[in-house]
Structure 1
Amino acid sequence: MRIGLDVGGTHTDAVLMDGSGVIARVKATTTEDVASGIEAALASVLDRQSPAAIDLLTIGTTQFTNAVVERKQLSRVAAVRVCLPAGRGLMPRADWPQDLAEATDGGSYLIHGGHLYDGRPLSELQERELTELTQTLSNTQPAAVVVSCAFSPTQPEQEDRLVARLADSLPGITVFPSHVMGGLGLIERENASILNASLLDFADRVANALVESSKKLGLQCPVYVSQNDGTLIDLERVRQFPALTFASGPTNSIRGAWALTGLADAIVIDVGGTTSDIGVLKNGFPRQSNLVIDVGGARTNFRMPDVIAIGLGGGSLIGPHGESCGPQSVARELRQKALCFGGSAMTLTDVAVSQGRLSISDASRSKLVEAKVCEAVDSLIVERLAATVDLMKPGGAVLPVILVGGGAPLIPGNTLAGCPIVRPDNADVANAIGASIAQVSGEAEGMRVAGADSREIVIENLTAIASEKALAAGADSATINIVNVEEVDIPYMATDTSRIRVSVVGDLASRGVLDS
């Protein structure tokens, strides 16, 4: 049996799964300290169950995203960019919000080195610069150092040598290579690596707390965390790459929608307490975005799901005559402020209760919303969601729209933008189900230059690299298969050049119990 747990800003959801069957489930309010809410949810689904019977605990968490957004729990990171004589015009963190830059600023340094897109050296490393850099970092003592070389995802050797040298010279300081964090695109990869490194100390504390919470309840199983592509990483990898979990919430819901319906290609709408996330299922996994992703105001090239969030949820505030719905929300204070719970705020939950779409045992129907207002709100939310679904349709195709999340009953009707709506059972805990059924993945990216290796050989080599990464993450080698191959032409090159990315997934291999 497996336990899937998803910790959101409003709710903490947990499910106990035996194969594809839901044995127990709970939807609880997220607590201020997070940990006590996790333990309470786990205790609830473990009621009358032996902890020894649990094979795996998988968790989705927003803690690292919240740390960046709130500018809390961040460490100082030195950014070393290896790019001179190019790259002088834009220093690391130059376009970041001031408060985020200040919270992570451990210094910024530019030195000679790096490569061009075809592997030719941009310039050679200079011994004098390296000596001065090492001395400066030794004096300033940042919590971590990020090294970013031009085109290091395709030419990592120089970056790896520099990381090893700095790590030897700076005991007690984590030195992190950018090529393991992001893809091609120096600035965005550097930003992603700095954010990740700023969370390393916090990640260590979070991982320790998760292990402690599971042990308190007698669990002896491995603990995994879901990441941005809808697959799993173990706690050791979370300690190294906390930023890979930034979008675990939406990805868990999308994967849960697949598990609940069996639909491999669909639009998924996850309706929460404050927002609705709209994403796309492609071959049973979240469609990934090819755009630059903004995280807390910093441009990054994380692999993130292609999701649009709109301010529409159960706590969304309704205008006096139904002319508006959200983005303002009562959020986790719904039970204190909504009309149906005796409060004075008109919310989307009140409209759904008044229309008979939602039944809440301890809610009162004494403060019903006028029918005219309800109809106006229903028309408004259908219009907004239909417009977003139209934007997300791949090639304008008509796909099923799967409604999940605790707020799924809030949405009226049977179609959106000409697409049929699917309302599965257990939709309100789809995120926890998505966490429980997650697999492990590997990904590799490279360049194909005309006149060099063929496209087939490049894909074969990248598949081998991606498979090795999946194996290292805990995949069963017999189950690894390719789920996505992306190829994008790169303009303005002297010869025809394209970027190819290969993604593979596999089932989690059987493992022993956690080390005591």
Structure 2
Amino acid sequence: MRIGIDVGGTNTDAVLMDGDSVVADAKVTTTPDVTDGIMQAIQGLRQRRDFDPGAVTGVMLGTTHFINAIVEGRDLSPTAAIRLGLPATQSLPPLVGWPGNLVSAIGDHTYLCHGGHEYDGRVISQLDPDELHRIADELAAEDVRSVAITSVFSLVNAEFELRAAEILAERLPGLRVSLSHEVGRTGLLERENATVINAALGELAERICGGMVAMLRSIGLEAPLYLSQNDGTLMGVDYARQYPVMTFASGPTNSMRGAAYLSGVDDCAVVDVGGTTTDVGMLHRGFPREASTEVSVGGIRTNFRMPDVLSFGVGGGSLVRQDSARVTVGPESVGYRLRDEALVFGGETLTATDLVVAAGRAEIGEPERVASLDRDLVEAGLAYATERITGTIDRMRTSRAPVPVVLVGGGSVLLPESIPLASSMMRPEQFAVANAVGAAIAQISGDVDRIFAVQPGQRDAALDTAKQEATDRALIAGATPGTVEIVEVEEIPLAYLPGNATRIRVKAVGDLSRDRSRDPSEPASAAHGHGAG
């Protein structure tokens, strides 16, 4: 058996799965201390279907802890951004374009050093250990405990990042080090930004992961804990301690993977309507379509692996407002206070949920409390929500042809049974907890996105190298040896660069390891070769 949990802005959902079947589900209000809501959700599962904790082989969690920390600028570690590339790259220093509050939150510790490579692997300048020794002394004096190291074109050659990490870790035992070639993709500033964010979340990740494991143990669950990644797969909790940035979009991707699993449709548009927002994305071969451009996180441009999802403020808890011109729904929401403030629960705030109940689309709370709502108001509010969602689906599809649409999330009752651009519409059983189902059924993945200088006759060797790296990353993240397979390979010749430069992207996916001796909830040696996390 497996337990899947997804923490949303309004509700925390959980499912207990036995094989391919959902045998129990629970939906509780997300609490200010997210861990309390997770414990309540697990207790809700046990009330609906008592189970032996020893029979649970894994607990899979999608959490908003880390993205919220960046958006709100809290719980971030003092972090130094070290770029290796002098004499190049001086015109745009590290943290350029960052919001002032986030620069202040991590401390404005930026350094430019010699190092870096050209796209074809040629050295820009040799690494200078003395520069790094001076930086180490400054970091020690200012009590900076996290470092992000970015070397120019480290995706081609990561040698200088690894050597710099070794030098700093030797001078500063216990220093947390994030390396850009392990976090981001092609594009220096965006990759550097993603790496700095990852480093700044390191101490929070240690506390959150440790607290989650302790909480599970306190209620008798000894099963390994896994966290959901941005691409709809999982990583072991020790891996999550090192790469918390990989959890940022776990909510939408869990919903999309759950939609594919529950509906049996692998290529479609997925509309996930929660209590606060609606997320619209496209599934391709059962996995979320990935964003091909940089993604803004908290006002910071990044380029790590993220799903191509459009989100906007329409959900079950959205406020309904009427003026002389029209009726609008959202973006403001009562959020997790829905059960206290919505009319159907005895509150005084008109929400989208009240419109749904008044229209007879769902039985929630006390329907008689909204029976007297003006019919024109109800119809106009629901039409507004439908128009916003339909327009977003239209923006996401890649052709004018109608597309299958799968509706999930408790707020999906906002939508009617059909819309013009949908070739079919499905709201599968357990649609309200599809996000938790997506977490429970997810696999482990490894991803590679690198530029290779492909010499004549060496294409197959370059592909084999990328495939092996992706496979190795999946194994490190907790996949079972022998189950890993390559599910995606993409080659993009870079005609603007000489030397047959080719960008190769590979994704590998494998089943969860059932070997309790490799329990990812237990501390393990660092995944980096340099021994610093």
Q: Which moved more, 1:297-306 or 1:484-493?
A: 484-493
Counterparts of residues 433-452 of structure 1 (less than 5 Å): 433-449=437-453, 451-452=455-456
Cα distance per residue 1:76-103 (max 9 Å; x no partner): 1011100111111111112100000110
Q: 1:359 aligns with which of 358, 363, 367?
A: 363
Q: Does the 8 Å CA contact 1:450/1:495 hold for their aligned counterparts?
A: yes
What displacement does 1:146 show? 1.3
Q: Which moved more, 1:411-420 or 1:362-371?
A: 362-371
Could you tell me which residue of structure 2 aligns to residue 308 of structure 1? 310
Q: How many residues align?
A: 516
Q: Which moved more, 1:165-174 or 1:282-291?
A: 165-174
Counterparts of residues 43-442 of structure 1 (less than 5 Å): 43-47=43-47, 48-105=50-107, 107-320=109-322, 323-442=327-446
Q: Which moved more, 1:127-136 or 1:237-246?
A: 127-136
AA matched with 1:13: D
What displacement does 1:165 show? 1.1
Give the distance between the partners of 1:134 and 1:213, measured in 2 at CA. 36
AA matched with 2:390: A
User: Structure 1's 460 and 374: CA in aligned 2 closer, same or farther, altered over 3 A?
Assistant: same
Secondary structure of 2:489 counterpart: strand
User: Structure 1's 373 and 153: CA in aligned 2 closer, same or farther, altered over 3 A?
Assistant: same
What displacement does 1:337 show? 2.4
Query: What RMSD in Å do the two structures reach over aligned CA positions?
Result: 1.8
Give the distance between the partners of 1:396 and 1:511, measured in 2 at CA. 48
Q: Does the 8 Å CA contact 1:263/1:284 hold for their aligned counterparts?
A: yes
Give the distance between the partners of 2:457 and 2:65, measured in 1 at CA. 43
Secondary structure of 2:109 counterpart: strand
What displacement does 1:452 show? 4.3
AA matched with 1:42: I
What displacement does 1:239 show? 1.0
Give the distance between the partners of 2:409 and 2:386, measured in 1 at CA. 17
Give the distance between the partners of 1:22 and 1:125, measured in 2 at CA. 55
Q: Does the 8 Å CA contact 1:341/1:364 hold for their aligned counterparts?
A: no
What displacement does 1:341 show? 2.6
Give the distance between the partners of 2:17 and 2:68, measured in 1 at CA. 28
Give the distance between the partners of 2:342 and 2:180, measured in 1 at CA. 47
AA matched with 1:358: A
Secondary structure of 2:6 counterpart: strand
What displacement does 1:497 show? 2.9
What displacement does 1:320 show? 1.9
Q: TM-score, normalised by structure 2?
A: 0.93
Secondary structure of 2:80 counterpart: strand
Give the distance between the partners of 1:290 and 1:476, measured in 2 at CA. 29
Give the distance between the partners of 1:361 and 1:186, measured in 2 at CA. 52
What displacement does 1:458 show? 2.2
Q: Does the 8 Å CA contact 1:43/1:217 hold for their aligned counterparts?
A: no
What displacement does 1:439 show? 0.2
Could you tell me which residue of structure 2 aligns to residue 23 of structure 1? 23
Could you tell me which residue of structure 2 aligns to residue 474 of structure 1? 478
What displacement does 1:444 show? 1.3
Q: 1:510 aligns with which of 508, 514, 518?
A: 514
Secondary structure of 1:80 counterpart: strand
Cα distance per residue 1:292-327 (max 9 Å; x no partner): 011111111110011000111011122226521111
Cα distance per residue 1:204-246 (max 9 Å; x no partner): 1111111111111111111111111111111111111111111
Q: Which runs of 5+ in 1 are unaligned?
A: none
What displacement does 1:454 show? 4.4
AA matched with 2:508: V
What displacement does 1:480 show? 1.7
User: Structure 1's 130 and 317: CA in aligned 2 closer, same or farther, altered over 3 A?
Assistant: closer
Q: Does the 8 Å CA contact 1:353/1:365 hold for their aligned counterparts?
A: no
Give the distance between the partners of 2:468 and 2:85, measured in 1 at CA. 29
What displacement does 1:469 show? 1.1
Cα distance per residue 1:119-162 (max 9 Å; x no partner): 11111123442333233233223111111100001201121111
Give the distance between the partners of 2:25 and 2:65, measured in 1 at CA. 22
Q: Does the 8 Å CA contact 1:12/1:27 hold for their aligned counterparts?
A: yes
Cα distance per residue 1:436-492 (max 9 Å; x no partner): 001000111222446445444322221111011112222123322222223334353
Could you tell me which residue of structure 1 aligns to residue 8 of structure 2? 8
Give the distance between the partners of 1:103 and 1:284, measured in 2 at CA. 38
Cα distance per residue 1:235-294 (max 9 Å; x no partner): 111111111111111110000001101111111011011110001111111111111011
Give the distance between the partners of 1:458 and 1:416, measured in 2 at CA. 46
User: Structure 1's 221 and 289: CA in aligned 2 closer, same or farther, altered over 3 A?
Assistant: same
AA matched with 1:458: A
Q: Which runs of 5+ in 2 are unaligned?
A: 523-533
What displacement does 1:197 show? 0.7
